[in-house]
């Protein structure tokens, strides 16, 4: 694994997650994850979440060479990874409490598919253009 490619892919994906999160969760669907009364959202924790999500996707793409071999493949694989991990999280939450609904889970899975597909494309593009060697 090339650490330079992992870092480049992580940063590219994290930026997609930050801006995608602002667009989808902050603007278009603000009630999917409402802020608890009296709580203040933390930009630091949001940014760390985006970095760890980007690192996970970049790591997966670096380990499986075919995962990001083309724009289409990167988008599909990124989207599927995002939707499946989101559905898993929602079903865990549904099983341990009643803080979730099927509508929320499916909507969030659709949003995650789009965001992770875009992050997959960002990794494919930046690692291909800036990273050089893909080993």
pLDDT tens for residues 5-57?
899 999 999 999 999 999 999 999 988 877 778 888 899 999 999 999 999 99
Instruction: Quickly tell me which residue has 């099983």 as its tokens.
Output: 95
The pLDDT tens digits of the residues spanning 106-116 come to 999 999 999 99
Contact, 65 vs 107, CB < 8 A?
A: no
């Amino acid at each position: 694994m090339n650490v330079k490619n992992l870092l480049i892919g992580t940063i590219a994906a994290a930026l997609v997650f930050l801006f995608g999160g602002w667009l989808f969760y902050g603007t278009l669907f603000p009630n999917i994850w409402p802020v608890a009364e009296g709580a203040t959202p933390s930009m630091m924790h949001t940014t760390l979440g985006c970095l760890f999500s980007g690192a996970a996707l970049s790591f997966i793409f670096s380990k499986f060479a075919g995962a990001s071999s083309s724009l289409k493949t990167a988008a599909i694989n990124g989207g599927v990874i995002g939707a499946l991990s989101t559905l898993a999280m929602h079903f865990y939450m549904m099983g341990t409490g009643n803080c979730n609904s099927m509508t929320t889970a499916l909507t969030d899975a659709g949003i995650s598919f789009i965001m992770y597909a875009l992050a997959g494309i960002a990794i494919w593009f930046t690692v291909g253009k800036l990273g050089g060697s893909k080993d």
